[in-house]
Amino acid sequence: MQALKKRILREGKNLGNGILKVDGFINHQVDPALMDECGREFARRFAGVGASKVLTAEISGIAPALTTAYHLGIPVVYARKHKPITMPDQVFLTLTPSHTKGRIVELIVSPEYLAGGERVIIIDDFLATGATILGLIRLAETAGARIVGIGTLIEKTFEGGRQALAHLGVPIESLASIQSMEGDIIQFGPDS
């Protein structure tokens, strides 16, 4: 998506080691108009998959997942990393390594909001190794839900996430695919 790629080139910072800083419009400060445009684009790309719910992980997935769900007219559930006191004792929980935190984090969803028969689109900010998304997939499958699509704002194709998710046989859509971050540059690949 051109608007997102332009913004990455203008304001994204390649911090080295494959870390792309997009804190000015996605991860800390958020540009709501850009997020709305991204959500509209995901909704367009996933219009035909018959989704009943969007699933994401707190924190950075919330903004694009919310706007996607808005444009699809369905609810969004964000997996929590800490169980709040309002959640029942029996939950779906999985462990996943966090790339940016350097440790294992929990992903928790209440069975109240993820049920058998649901058709789930997973939306997240980044597709890198795919570890977080694989965690969300385990939660959805444990709930008896079916994954019908995966969408990420930014894919780093050199980290192998797309290959790790290929076995699902569902459409994987990224709005900006980054092929290389060698040196100081950010080089986009062909659109997914």
- Least distance CB 174 / a second copy (angstroms): 20
Give the Cα separation of 21 and 161 in Å (integer).
19
Binding span for a second copy by CB under 8 A among 61-69, 128-136, 162-170, 174-182:
61-69
Give the Cα separation of 113 and 136 in Å (integer).
14
| 30 scored as a contact of a second copy (CB under 8 A) | yes
Give the Cα separation of 64 and 46 in Å (integer).
14
Assigned token pair, 139: 């939660």
| 138 scored as a contact of a second copy (CB under 8 A) | no
Exactly one of 2, 10, 85, 104 binds a second copy (CB under 8 A); that residue is 85
Exactly one of 2, 10, 73, 104 binds a second copy (CB under 8 A); that residue is 73
Assigned token pair, 14: 């390649």
| 153 scored as a contact of a second copy (CB under 8 A) | no
Give the Cα separation of 6 and 149 in Å (integer).
25
Binding span for a second copy by CB under 8 A among 68-76, 132-140, 144-152, 157-165:
68-76
Indicate the SS3 state at residue 40.
helix
- The candidate with the shortest Cα–Cα distance to 173, out of 136, 122, 139, is 122
Site residues (vs a second copy, CB under 8 A): 13, 15, 19, 21, 23-25, 27-33, 35-36, 58-59, 62-63, 66-67, 69-70, 73, 75-78, 80, 82, 84-87, 100-101, 109-110, 112-113
